Structure 1
Amino acid sequence: MKRISLNINGKPVSGSVEPRTHLADFLREGRDLTGTHLGCEHGVCGACTILVDGVPVRSCIAYAVACDGAKIVTIEGLDDDEITRELREAFKREHALQCGYCTPGMLVSARDLVVRSLDADEHDIRVAMSGNLCRCTGYVGIIKAIKSVIAARRARDIAAVAGGGRTMVGPAGSGHASAEPADGSPRRAAPAPPLQSASTGKSRLSVDPTWIPQVSFDQNFIVNYPRQQVWEMFGRVREVAACLPGASLIGEPTPEHVEGQIRVKVGPIAAEFRGQAEIERDESSYSGKITGAGNAIRSNSATRGVIGYRLLPARDGQSTEVAVTIGYTLTGMLAQFGRPSIVQDVAAQLTAAFAQNLEARLGGKTTADLSSGGGGLDAGSLIFSVVAGRLQELFRRLFGSRS
């Protein structure tokens, strides 16, 4: 058993739980908060959705111990919430519920969408709510209800909150959870709040020093220009970004901070990741590190990554070897295409395109001359070429061995 402490619907709660206990079971059986419904118990139907630290979470697949110290809000805790009250009225008006079993989770997810949506776009609503299943209504009334609340709030000049107030990528509640140290020392504190940009007042990326990427790998390439020239080029953020297929910057970058976006298309899934990154450079060792995070609301995907690089002289100093270490964590719909072996092969092709564009830029060519893929990065075609290459290699081994 493990002792945990939570804040549930504004009240401090403590209890002992088995490490395997799901948050939904802890709430329903331990706190009698039965408004949190259990449906599939696989994180698919969305009936058990609650708020953990302000973020919608499938409580049937979240361990209670992983949320130790977190702030939990269930449907019971939203009785007096203004947005939820408006959604309840809209659901009633638009006949957006029948049996009501999915409704608590539906309202929690809808509330998050109302908070962060700039406008009442029906397609965006359908995509964002696709993780909440209903067997009764056919969704038409649900979509109308959510759309009407978003439109009404924006008409009253209630602005959307970008990203719903999220400050970091990762499982909700994970910033609080930690194991009890064996020596009795204090448990690790939650990550510090995000920094504020002095120039824009916008939230700066919160970098958790304890974050470990799910996948890490290395890439090396040669640039046919001296190391000092390549190093100076790497310091010009806007020019470097123009060399990366599908990438563009938002606003004016600084030597330490950049905000941007990259368009990715994988088959029928199109995503536009928007995020920010912190930049570190060490001229004495010709090395640097870029730590970034971003999310794509339309595809409900998020990513966090770190890129470390080091410039080494090559070919008697006339060329430069760029040694890159890449680490990333990818969640959401696009995670299904994030198998490490495929990502590494795709990264190799992207690296080759980046190196080609970098040399072109160093040679004096403009952005228009680069193969940067202004329409976005078609990762699907890259993955197809990778798979095709692997199949060709397989056939070569099979039939080559018989000859």
Structure 2
Amino acid sequence: MSTITLTVNRRAVQASAEPRISLADFIREKLDLTGTHLGCEHGVCGACTVLLDGMPARSCITYAVACEGADVTTIEGLDEDDVTIELRAAFTREHALQCGYCTPGMLVSARDLVRRLPDADERRIRAGLSGNLCRCTGYVGIVRAVQSVIEARRNRQIAPEPDGGRKILGPVGSGRGVRAASDLGEHLRQAKHGETLPEAAASVGEIPDFTPATVLEQSFIVSHPPGQVFAMFDDVAAVAACLPGASLTAPPTPQRIEGAIRVKIGPIAATFLGAAGVERNPDHLSGRIIGIGNDRRSRSSTQGEIRYRLVPIDGSAATRVDLSIGYTLTGMLAQVGRPGLVRDLAARLIAEFAVNLDRRMSGKSIGDAVAAPAADLNGMSLVFGVLRARVARWFGRS
């Protein structure tokens, strides 16, 4: 039995829950909010739809314990919601309900459509409601009701909200309510002004050594002498600014870095907070960075190391940077961390880093060539680039 804390209909709730209990059973049996109905209990019919952190979600296939810290809104919590009030009146006017069993989930989904759709397009409304099944009405009245509310609101110059007001997209039940977007933004703002993040600093004490599960070998060339490149690598803040998605969460020391790296792959968004130790060997122009980090939303952890060696080329006018990247990844994100894909993504990431590094050492602005380094590392753009490269190689072989 676990004790979970969450917000339900703007009220803080703390209650015990077995690990196997669904969110639907939890809010019905523990909180007596029986407006959420159970139909198929397989996530198909949509009768159990609630708002989880502002997103319509199937509560029958979402574990209650996975919603620790989340914000849940049931049909009872929408009694004073202006969109839902209009929809209820429209459902009555258009005869859009008969037995009414599907109606609570239908209203939650319809509310999301009213907020998002720019106009009352019947095809898009039917597609948006396709996850809510009704055995009585034939859907004609339901579609007309949703259309009428959208038309009325647009005629009153009420503009649609991009993504229905969502701040972050992520898998339902991912636990992202534990750290809301506003909280994360505030933490990152504090870090930018030199304040420390307690989670990042306190949660990682001594950084343990480890044997990587996967090791990748990469290299790139910088058009500057090895001595200058080695000195640049000593400026941790400057190096972090060249790496997409990376940021410091506390002022660095010669032996320790505390920071974050943000990764986004489709609907999965992760922010790894952690710390790393730094080792440097000026005699051999080499070094090692070993770190550990955790993403609370996906409950994923990673250990990693980067070994680098600077090799003079072109009569020491330029430098080849040889990298050995080792890592171990556990948790949900390990499911998408296949070595082949990670190897290709690492090559693309290192290529971006090399361009940024070369431009910074040349005194040029990084933003002139690529996206601002503070932006998230967008895995989807890298994936598409990898796929394009692979397709080109396949056609080249044929």
TM-score by length of 1: 0.55
* Identity percentage of aligned residues: 38
Cα distance between partner residues in 2 of 1:345 and 1:17: 40
Query: Which string of whole-angstrom CA distances, capped at 9 and with x for unpartnered residues, describes residues 261-310 of structure 1?
Result: xxxxxxxxxxxxxxxx74569584797855226586xxxx3422549785
Instruction: Please show how residues 297-376 of structure 1 align to structure 2 within 5 Å.
Output: 301-306=267-272, 310=306, 312-316=308-312, 318-322=319-323, 339-341=336-338, 344-356=339-351, 362=358
Cα deviation, residue 383, structure 1: 9.6
Residue matched to 2:109: 109
Cα deviation, residue 367, structure 1: 5.3
> Relative to structure 1, is the Cα distance of residues 330 and 140 closer, same or farther in structure 2, using a 3 angstrom cutoff?
farther
Residue matched to 1:223: 220
1:35–1:74 Cα contact (<8 Å) kept: yes
Residue matched to 1:38: 38
Secondary structure, aligned partner of 2:270: strand
1:291 aligned onto 2:257: no
> Relative to structure 1, is the Cα distance of residues 291 and 383 closer, same or farther in structure 2, using a 3 angstrom cutoff?
same
Query: Which string of whole-angstrom CA distances, capped at 9 and with x for unpartnered residues, describes residues 126-145 of structure 1?
Result: 66555444456666665554
Cα deviation, residue 20, structure 1: 2.7
> Which residue identity lines up with residue 341 of structure 2 in the other structure?
V
The number of equivalent residue pairs is 316
Cα deviation, residue 52, structure 1: 3.9
Structure 1 unmatched runs, 5+ = 178-188, 199-205, 242-257, 259-276, 369-374, 393-403
Instruction: Please show how residues 3-402 of structure 1 align to structure 2 within 5 Å.
Output: 8-9=8-9, 16-67=16-67, 71-93=71-93, 96-97=96-97, 99-115=99-115, 117=116, 119-120=118-119, 122=121, 129=129, 131-134=131-134, 142=142, 145-146=145-146, 148-150=148-150, 152-153=152-153, 155-157=156-158, 160=161, 164-166=165-167, 169=170, 171-172=172-173, 174=175, 193-196=183-186, 219-225=216-222, 226=226, 227-228=229-230, 235=238, 278=247, 284=254, 290-292=260-262, 301-306=267-272, 310=306, 312-316=308-312, 318-322=319-323, 339-341=336-338, 344-356=339-351, 362=358, 379=384, 382=387, 385=390
Query: Which string of whole-angstrom CA distances, capped at 9 and with x for unpartnered residues, describes residues 175-195 of structure 1?
Result: 678xxxxxxxxxxx9998243
> Relative to structure 1, is the Cα distance of residues 71 and 323 closer, same or farther in structure 2, using a 3 angstrom cutoff?
same
1:305–1:327 Cα contact (<8 Å) kept: no
Cα distance between partner residues in 2 of 1:93 and 1:379: 48
Give the superposed CA RMSD: 5.5
Cα distance between partner residues in 2 of 1:328 and 1:340: 9
Secondary structure, aligned partner of 1:195: helix
> Relative to structure 1, is the Cα distance of residues 20 and 321 closer, same or farther in structure 2, using a 3 angstrom cutoff?
same
Cα deviation, residue 223, structure 1: 0.9
Cα distance between partner residues in 2 of 1:228 and 1:103: 65
Cα distance between partner residues in 2 of 1:207 and 1:126: 47
Cα deviation, residue 54, structure 1: 3.9
> Which residue identity lines up with residue 345 of structure 1 in the other structure?
G
Secondary structure, aligned partner of 1:86: helix
TM-score by length of 2: 0.55
Query: Higher helix proportion, which one?
Result: 2
Cα distance between partner residues in 2 of 1:32 and 1:11: 14
Secondary structure, aligned partner of 1:224: strand
> Relative to structure 1, is the Cα distance of residues 355 and 74 closer, same or farther in structure 2, using a 3 angstrom cutoff?
closer
Cα distance between partner residues in 1 of 2:264 and 2:147: 26
1:48–1:58 Cα contact (<8 Å) kept: yes
> Relative to structure 1, is the Cα distance of residues 143 and 62 closer, same or farther in structure 2, using a 3 angstrom cutoff?
same
> Relative to structure 1, is the Cα distance of residues 376 and 319 closer, same or farther in structure 2, using a 3 angstrom cutoff?
closer
Query: Which string of whole-angstrom CA distances, capped at 9 and with x for unpartnered residues, describes residues 300-330 of structure 1?
Result: x342254978572333583213455596987
> Which residue identity lines up with residue 174 of structure 1 in the other structure?
G
